[in-house]
Copies of this chain bind each other. A is one copy, B any other.
Amino acid sequence: MRVSPVVPGGLEGHPGLNSVPSQAAPGVRTRSQHQRRKRIVQAAAALASRGGVEAMQMRTVAERAGVALGTLYRYFPSKMDLVVAVVGEEIDLLESSIERRPPNAATPAGRAVDVLMRATRGLMREPELADALIRSLIITEVDTPFGDRMAGLLLRAAVPGLTAATATEEQFALTGSLSSVWVYELLEMLRGRRTYEQTQRRIEIAADRLLAEF
């Protein structure tokens, strides 16, 4: 697997995503480019929510998005970059859901579990997609903000007002650990080796220990 080369003009978007074609004026993204990018991601998500990554074939995505294969590769230098973009959208959704209705459990651990289980339910609505995306994310050499974003979400859930900047290294490590446990349990559930209840229980067990002294 290749690391996607840095696109000359691309410098915004989620860190690690290089999915904006270079431009005369660096960093500028025209409306049509933006929409094209969006159409591509939507087409990809739609396909993936059916048959997983397998159904999300680059040729098919390009076709559905009404774009040539070469153009697709210009926006997303590899299939993985596309997957990362799709996942990014999912996390955005979770993030705004949390803003809309913050977790209200009594303890930090309880609030973190709340967030994680909400994310779990969200992802389980499209299991094929979730499965494909999570797996892909974990292996990719593309630098994804996934783990850190999730750890940050948990940090804020556990201690409202805390951010990656103000947290101690230990706190960040602990929410990071919790998020890796979550990812793993999610995968096990998607593999059919856990029920939703088992997953929840295991996450609660881990969260209780990891975030006990928050």
Which of A's residues lie within 8 Å of B, judged by CB?
Answer: 1, 54, 135-136, 138-139, 141, 143, 147, 170, 173-174, 176-177, 180-181, 183-185, 187-188, 191, 193, 201-202, 205-206, 209-210, 212
Contacts and interface: CB of A to CB of B under 8 A. Distances in A.
Given A147-B184, A210-B210, 5 more contacts: A173-B205, A173-B206, A174-B206, A174-B209, A180-B185
Contact of A181 (B177, B188, B191, B193): B177
B202 A177 contact: yes
Given A138-B135, A141-B191, A205 B177 contact: yes
* Chain A contact residues: helix, strand, loop or mixed: helix
Nearest to A139: B135
Contact of A1 (B54, B187, B205): B54
A108 to B, nearest CB: 13
Contacts of A176: 184, 202
A46 B214 CA distance: 46
23 contacts: A1-B54, A135-B138, A135-B139, A138-B138, A138-B139, A141-B191, A143-B191, A143-B193, A147-B188, A173-B206, A174-B206, A176-B184, A176-B202, A177-B202, A177-B205, A180-B181, A180-B183, A180-B184, A181-B181, A184-B184, A206-B210, A209-B212, A210-B210
